Structure 1
Amino acid sequence: MSAQPAVGVASTDLPIFENAQAWYGPEMAARIDWVHRLTEAEIAEIEAVVRAADATGKDILELRRADFPLPGLQPLLDEVRKQVLHGRGFHLLRGIPVERFTIRQSAIAYWGLGLHLGEPVSQNGKGHVLGHVTNLGLNYADPEVRGYQTSARLNYHTDSSDIVALLCLRTAKAGGLSSIVSSTTIWNELVRRRPDHARTLLGEFHRTRWGEIPENKKGYGSNPIFAPYKGRMFASYVRSAIMKAQAMPEVPRLSAEQIEALDHVDALAADPTLHLDMSFEPGDIQLLSNHFVFHSRTAYEDWPEVEKRRHLLRLWLACDDGPELPPSMVSRLGVTARGRPNGICVPGVPFVAPLVAA
């Protein structure tokens, strides 16, 4: 684990965080240490393990980390996990040979690498531990439709796991740019510019659960947007879920001050002096911390041919060596047996790893 982060004190008495999680997009765009293009030897190691695992005929859910020995890649994966969980909060791996793989083989490669980083958890009420980010033709205005099922622009947000990972199989005809921003930097800028907004965002906000309700939980969850804890600033934010929860009669109404503070968060995230844009190539794996990074996507135009359309595979990972979480986050998320965020677990729904989007 990294050393105790430095915390400064703003004149308002709200903390400023001067640590690895507090970065600015243009600075990162000028660096290459967060990108690793796999070498021929690393790709060969992955291919050999994937073809051996594929030949067993096992369902992806049956495959374990022991089925993916990667001694050559292990030092790289250990460093990636450290940077994502305790450092800057993101990394990009390039070069998974998806053009040579079947969809099952791509999924096996992705699953195996994921098992070296954490434990896959369910991403929706269907129990999908292997997700598909592709346009299903659904309407994002529907209260129970999630953005990844559409081609719409996604606002900056976080997911319900330690790490969210995306493997690009195919890109869109146009658009679909990925953007990320340091939520710690957003907090620091709020403190500097509008400390009243910063204080508001330390209070409780209510989010719909999209009809995907865990055992003994309400139809909505509540937590602050920002939660300082043990020297770090944790963040949890889904503006669309907050706004859709307003249609629920049991959810308190947002105040004018809360709406203004949320608008400020969105404006800061969209500021090109803060965020980092990246375009995906087939074979890219993007890894993000949900605790320290907000992520977004521009709207996209897809190809008319179904077989060419934009398609990403997604993993939500719970990581035993992740940072200790604020109690307010744990109470909303629910946790695995080892105390990590457990995604979306609906009673009676078994885990599945589908190879087609649904």
Structure 2
Amino acid sequence: MNKIVQRQLRTETATWTAASLAELKSQWESHFTLAELAELRQAVETAKKNGLTVGTMTKDSFLLPTLGKRMAALGQLLEDGLGIALMRGIPVNDYQKNELELLFAGLGVHLGVLLPQSKAGEKIGVVADSGNKLASGARGTKTSDQLPFHTDRSDLIGLLCVREATKGGESYVVSATQVYNIILRDRPDLLEVLCQPFWHRRTAWEAGGPDTAYPLPIFGEREGKFAVRYLRHFIRVAQELPSVPRLTDQQIEALDMVDRLCMSEECLVRMPFEPGDIQWLNNFVAFHGRAAYEDENADKEDKGRFLYRLWLASPLSRPLPDGFEAIYGRTEPGVIRGGALPAETIQII
């Protein structure tokens, strides 16, 4: 049995329950004002006029004199506050596809640097059903399956809803520090297991290739800052590699407890997406997932559930624990890290 280390309850603002987050709704949910929407429209038109693309967008080239100040405050909320935000009211039907991509990327660069989401290097991802299934090895963003709780490989993630599903597809969010605290209270032995490395396998869509694996803890801390990295699928498929040690019964029990708590009434926040909603999350303090969904018109052009996704490296980011460099590349605060490609390949215009 692992030696139990004396660990302390997490008390940061990002530690919330489903009930307490509902009471704080005015702090994390907001609507764009008419003046802000007009400013966004002007910024998009200027970006088009200047020939900007998602890949060449910067904060200085997508000027938001008023809204930019709110985005700066949002960055602080995501790093030092609740770790979650919902901005509502983008008139998505008033924009062409390329305009909407410019708009979302433009908001994103006011929070950080856009990161590549696959080896192809795209900096704005599409979340839509391609008819494949997780069981067949498809990437979760391309299926209509329920997505288990996980974190993405970036400081921040943004999701813009363009079209909602006919049925289902609601977003799930959970405070990772709240889950940590419950495990500390009820099963400190399992918490200690979760603070030790688990072997993860790389995927076909990231740098490094699917035949390599790396050790990474689920929970960690550095300089008083908490961090979580969780995607159980990568742990499960690592077991297919002969060189990877087999999971112990205690490791499996610990992972099962994380999954169970994430779906508990105490922890789980269900957040339906509506067109024009943007959800922002700090990947180091919040788990997210998704309910399965159905689309009656998914086989028709420009129909069916459709979201855009951003991965962002934040200049306000926290230091990361030992071991996290295996996937994020660098662990110092405020640096460009994460994404599907090494940080040195990311071009900053």
What is the TM-score normalised by the length of structure 1?
Answer: 0.89
Alignment of 1:128-139 (within 5 A): 128-139=122-133
2:51 is matched with 57
* Runs of 4+ in structure 1 over 6 Å off: 346-351
Is the contact between residue 26 and residue 275 of structure 1 (CA under 8 Å) also seen in structure 2? no
Structure 1 residues 12 and 251: CA distance shift in structure 2, 3 A = closer
- The alignment status of 1:14 with 2:7, answered yes or no, reads yes
Structure 1 residues 345 and 12: CA distance shift in structure 2, 3 A = closer
Q: Specify which of 269, 272, 287 is matched with residue 265 of structure 2.
A: 272
Q: Specify which of 110, 113, 123 is matched with residue 117 of structure 2.
A: 123
Alignment of 1:246-325 (within 5 A): 246-304=239-297, 305-325=300-320
Residues 101-125 of structure 1 deviation map (CA, whole Å, 9 limit, x = unaligned): 0011110000001000000111122
Structure 2 unaligned spans of 5+: none
1:169 is matched with 162
Q: Specify which of 337, 342, 346 is matched with residue 338 of structure 2.
A: 342
Supply the distance in 2 between the matched residues of 1:132 and 1:125 (Cα, whole angstroms). 15
AA aligned to 2:47 is: A
- The alignment status of 1:75 with 2:69, answered yes or no, reads yes
Q: Specify which of 210, 223, 228 is matched with residue 230 of structure 1.
A: 223
Structure 1 residues 350 and 289: CA distance shift in structure 2, 3 A = closer
Supply the distance in 1 between the matched residues of 2:210 and 2:323 (Cα, whole angstroms). 14
- The alignment status of 1:109 with 2:103, answered yes or no, reads yes
1:151 is matched with 144
AA aligned to 2:175 is: S
Is the contact between residue 330 and residue 341 of structure 1 (CA under 8 Å) also seen in structure 2? no
Structure 1 unaligned spans of 5+: 1-10, 352-358
Using the TM superposition, give the Cα deviation of residue 141 of structure 1 relative to its aligned residue in structure 2, in angstroms: 1.7
AA aligned to 1:45 is: E
- The alignment status of 1:330 with 2:291, answered yes or no, reads no
Deviates more, 1:27-36 or 1:43-52: 27-36
Residues 114-170 of structure 1 deviation map (CA, whole Å, 9 limit, x = unaligned): 000000111122212110011111231234x21111110001100110001101100
1:355 is matched with none
Using the TM superposition, give the Cα deviation of residue 13 of structure 1 relative to its aligned residue in structure 2, in angstroms: 2.4
AA aligned to 2:234 is: A
Once the two structures are aligned, what percentage of the paired residues are identical?
Answer: 34
Supply the distance in 1 between the matched residues of 2:343 and 2:38 (Cα, whole angstroms). 41
Supply the distance in 2 between the matched residues of 1:115 and 1:59 (Cα, whole angstroms). 12
Structure 1 residues 123 and 299: CA distance shift in structure 2, 3 A = same
- The alignment status of 1:201 with 2:194, answered yes or no, reads yes
Supply the distance in 2 between the matched residues of 1:263 and 1:206 (Cα, whole angstroms). 16
Partner SS for 1:22 = coil
Is the contact between residue 127 and residue 349 of structure 1 (CA under 8 Å) also seen in structure 2? no
Partner SS for 1:262 = helix
- The alignment status of 1:40 with 2:34, answered yes or no, reads yes
Q: How many residues align?
A: 340
Using the TM superposition, give the Cα deviation of residue 187 of structure 1 relative to its aligned residue in structure 2, in angstroms: 0.4
Residues 78-110 of structure 1 deviation map (CA, whole Å, 9 limit, x = unaligned): 111001112111111111121100011110000
Supply the distance in 1 between the matched residues of 2:62 and 2:302 (Cα, whole angstroms). 29
Deviates more, 1:310-319 or 1:236-245: 236-245
1:354 is matched with none
Deviates more, 1:274-283 or 1:99-108: 274-283
| Alignment RMSD (CA, Å) | 2.3
Using the TM superposition, give the Cα deviation of residue 208 of structure 1 relative to its aligned residue in structure 2, in angstroms: 1.8
Structure 1 residues 254 and 77: CA distance shift in structure 2, 3 A = same
AA aligned to 1:229 is: R
Partner SS for 1:260 = helix
Is the contact between residue 162 and residue 340 of structure 1 (CA under 8 Å) also seen in structure 2? no
Supply the distance in 2 between the matched residues of 1:215 and 1:155 (Cα, whole angstroms). 24
- The alignment status of 1:24 with 2:20, answered yes or no, reads no
Supply the distance in 2 between the matched residues of 1:336 and 1:190 (Cα, whole angstroms). 26
Is the contact between residue 127 and residue 346 of structure 1 (CA under 8 Å) also seen in structure 2? no
Using the TM superposition, give the Cα deviation of residue 177 of structure 1 relative to its aligned residue in structure 2, in angstroms: 0.6
Deviates more, 1:269-278 or 1:152-161: 269-278
Partner SS for 2:274 = coil
Using the TM superposition, give the Cα deviation of residue 232 of structure 1 relative to its aligned residue in structure 2, in angstroms: 2.9
Structure 1 residues 19 and 110: CA distance shift in structure 2, 3 A = same
Using the TM superposition, give the Cα deviation of residue 253 of structure 1 relative to its aligned residue in structure 2, in angstroms: 1.1
Using the TM superposition, give the Cα deviation of residue 342 of structure 1 relative to its aligned residue in structure 2, in angstroms: 2.5
